[in-house]
Amino acid sequence: MSAAFDLPGSLEGLRSRSTLGGGADTDFRPEIGYSLIRERPGASGVSWLVGVGEFSVSDRPKDVLIAHSLGSCLGLSVYDPVLRLGGMAHCMLPLSKQNPMRASERPALYVDTGIQVLLEHLFGLGARKENLVIKAAGCAAILHDNGMFRIGEKNYAVLRKVLWKNDLLVTSEETGGSAPRTVSLEIKTGRTFVQSGGQHREL
């Protein structure tokens, strides 16, 4: 579903289901491929792998969110520089209508629902729409995609359409082509980097 969805500046109603319990500093929910990483006194930062069909949100300054080997997949980095809060989604397919049941179980598999669920969780933690810095990587034409499906191209089209319908813009991107990419987001600085073909550069 690529129709517009409501994106207020802050979704306070999400806060209760996004808050950690049990004294942990990480909440991983495998049924939706979601990890929420919250800042706690004395907690050390780590690199968090955001796998295919997963998304992660963190406010720990030392954390780095990483999506490896993006081919036709979309790697989306979203950051609020005021709160120093960020998230990443690793989406494989363009539209959730292809398999609504699967999308309900794992929304980040699809670009349309992946964008929505990532932004909802960021807003639930206080991020403001007007502050967001959005960066994209991936959406390549991979070798075994013979052009019949053009998954990368479709992923990119859905990304732009969903953001446009919600008055959001991509700040910078490295998309298309045929090379796989790895994208990373530093929570402390909001800097997003792409690695591809032996080169490491900032988006």
DSSP H helices, the chain, are 15-18, 100-105, 111-124, 151-165
Q: What is the pLDDT, as a whole number, of residue 149?
A: 74
For domain 25-202, give the fold: 60s Ribosomal Protein L30; Chain: A; (3.30.1330)
Residues 79-107: tens digit of each pLDDT = 999 999 999 999 999 999 999 999 999 99
DSSP of 40-62, one letter per residue? Answer: -TTPPP-EEE--TTEEEEE--TT
List the one residue out of 22, 19, 50, 21 whose CA is nearest residue 34. Answer: 50
Q: What is the pLDDT of residues 107-134, one digit of tens each?
A: 999 999 999 999 999 999 999 999 999 9
pTM (two decimals): 0.82
The catalytic residue positions are: 73
pLDDT of residue 20: 25
* Parts of the chain with a pLDDT under 70: 1-45, 143-148
Rounded CA-CA distance 16/171 in Å is 30
